[in-house]
């Protein structure tokens, strides 16, 4: 477990952050200038905090009160930066084996396993300048893992890539997150990356942690708009594959006691899946509409409405017909729609979600 509780002043910027990161992927999310990269640099030993402590699996990396400040080379922390930073004079193979040498420990990660995990088999004899941005980042990640770290820090590793390269590397990052066996602290200001990769989420705003916890819980909070941004806000739903309609290329996903239709998923019946539904893609009706193209019409009860100064309002709802814990859903409407429909906490509505608007991720 990573335990961070630090204070630091840099010019007029004050960073005061405390959080814990366990196994899996913990996303450190915030807008540019929130202090994410500075915080990662402190964990890595590249920046010294003014006050506080940083502990990793019971080892003290930094403690201002006790006078401890381990140098970066002794922390067993590996960093993947925004740029791949490969050695240009070494092949991919030798960049990878340099990571093992730099770790200066008995091999904790198998070279062939890391090569297979990141799909590097066809790249081993190539020079770094012949790689695409996504390929170079995969090599950089492999080199970091082969240093046998106790935690992998990833500082916005996709921010320098275009859309095509991001799409290329995201599936590899998803495999890494749950097959490499190394905890990951993943820095991002992109909610789509967080929704796909993270198990836990820490939201940083103006140098302070404003929320932390399971990613679905934090992303569902409607009071965090100023820190997370509202355009990509939404809900994460956990479910299982219920059935497939191969004639129309659709899959049905059971979430609690409801079923959601999405484009056909290459997965077996019973496989776990995580769905992301953006708040802006959810419409509300007071009764089930007839003869409509939208495939998903889910009964829900409004639990909270947060109106903004501008034209929009955020609606949080509990899906009905779900035993035990009720999955929630989030919608973003105009305040005029809320007024005209007479929406209020406790009211019953029908949430309308287009099947094509749902993002899917297997095995979460």
Dump pLDDT digits (tens) for 244-274.
999 999 999 999 888 999 999 988 999 988 8
C-alpha to C-alpha distance for 23 and 10, rounded to whole angstroms: 31
Per-residue model confidence (pLDDT) at position 157: 86
Question: 217 and 257, same structural domain?
Answer: no
d(CA 188, CA 211): 15
Phi, psi of 224 (to 5 degrees): -105, 15
Q: Does residue 144 lie in a domain region?
A: yes
> How far apart (Å, rounded) are the C-alpha atoms in residues 331 and 316?
7
What is the per-residue pLDDT for 106? 54
Q: Is residue 119 part of a domain?
A: yes
Structurally, the chain folds into a number of domains equal to 2
Nearest alpha-carbon partner for 283 in 273, 268, 294: 294
- Whether 112 and 178 map to the same domain: the answer is yes
Q: What is the predicted pLDDT for the residue at 105? A: 56
DSSP bridge partners of 259? 254
Q: Region 143-159: what's the mean pLDDT?
A: 88
CB 298 within 8 A of CB 347: no
156 and 250, same structural domain? no
Same domain, 11 and 49: yes
Q: Is residue 229 a part of any domain in this protein? A: no
Q: Are 79 and 155 in contact (CB under 8 A)?
A: yes
Residue 185: is its pLDDT beyond 90?
yes
Q: Is the pLDDT of residue 346 over 70?
A: yes
Residues 140 and 249 reside in one and the same domain: no
Could you tell me if 218 and 163 lie in one domain?
yes
Q: Which residues form the domain of 313?
A: 234-362
Residue-wise pLDDT for 203-258, tens only, equals: 998 899 999 998 888 887 777 766 666 656 788 888 899 999 999 999 999 998 88
Mean pLDDT of the chain: 87
Element (H, E) at 100: helix 92-103
Average pLDDT over residues 329-358: 94
């Amino acid at each position: 477990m990573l335990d961070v509780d630090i204070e630091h002043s840099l010019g007029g910027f004050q960073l005061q952050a405390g959080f814990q990161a366990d196994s899996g992927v913990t996303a450190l999310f915030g807008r540019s200038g929130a202090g994410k990269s500075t915080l990662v640099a402190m964990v890595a030993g590249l920046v010294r905090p003014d006050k506080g402590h940083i502990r990793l699996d019971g080892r003290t990396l930094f403690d201002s009160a006790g006078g401890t400040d381990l140098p970066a080379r002794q922390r067993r922390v590996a960093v993947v930066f925004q740029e791949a930073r490969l050695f240009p004079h070494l092949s991919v193979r030798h960049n990878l084996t340099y990571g093992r040498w730099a770790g200066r420990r008995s091999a904790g990660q198998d070279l062939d396993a890391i090569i297979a995990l990141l799909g590097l088999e066809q790249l081993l004899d190539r020079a770094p300048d012949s790689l695409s941005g996504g390929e170079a980042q995969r090599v950089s990640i492999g080199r970091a893992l082969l240093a046998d770290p106790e935690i992998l820090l990833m500082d916005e590793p996709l921010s320098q890539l275009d859309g095509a390269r991001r799409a290329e590397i995201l599936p590899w990052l998803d495999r890494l997150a749950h097959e490499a066996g190394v905890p990951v602290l993943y820095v991002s200001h992109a909610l789509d990356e967080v929704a796909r990769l993270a198990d836990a989420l820490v939201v940083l705003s103006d140098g302070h942690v404003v929320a932390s916890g399971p990613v679905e819980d934090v992303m569902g909070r409607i009071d965090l708009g100023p820190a997370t941004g509202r355009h990509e806000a939404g809900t994460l739903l956990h479910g299982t594959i219920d059935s497939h309609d191969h004639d129309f290329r659709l899959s049905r996903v059971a979430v609690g006691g409801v079923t959601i239709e999405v484009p056909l998923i290459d997965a077996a019946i019973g496989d776990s899946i995580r769905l992301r539904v953006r708040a802006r893609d959810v419409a509300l009706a007071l009764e089930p509409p007839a003869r409509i193209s939208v495939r998903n019409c889910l009964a829900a009860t409004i639990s909270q409405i947060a109106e903004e100064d501008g034209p929009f309002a955020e609606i949080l709802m509990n899906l009905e017909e779900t035993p035990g814990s009720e999955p929630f859903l989030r919608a973003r409407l105009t305040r005029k729609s809320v007024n005209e429909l007479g929406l209020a906490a406790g009211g019953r509505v029908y949430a309308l979600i287009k099947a094509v608007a749902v993002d899917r991720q297997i095995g979460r």
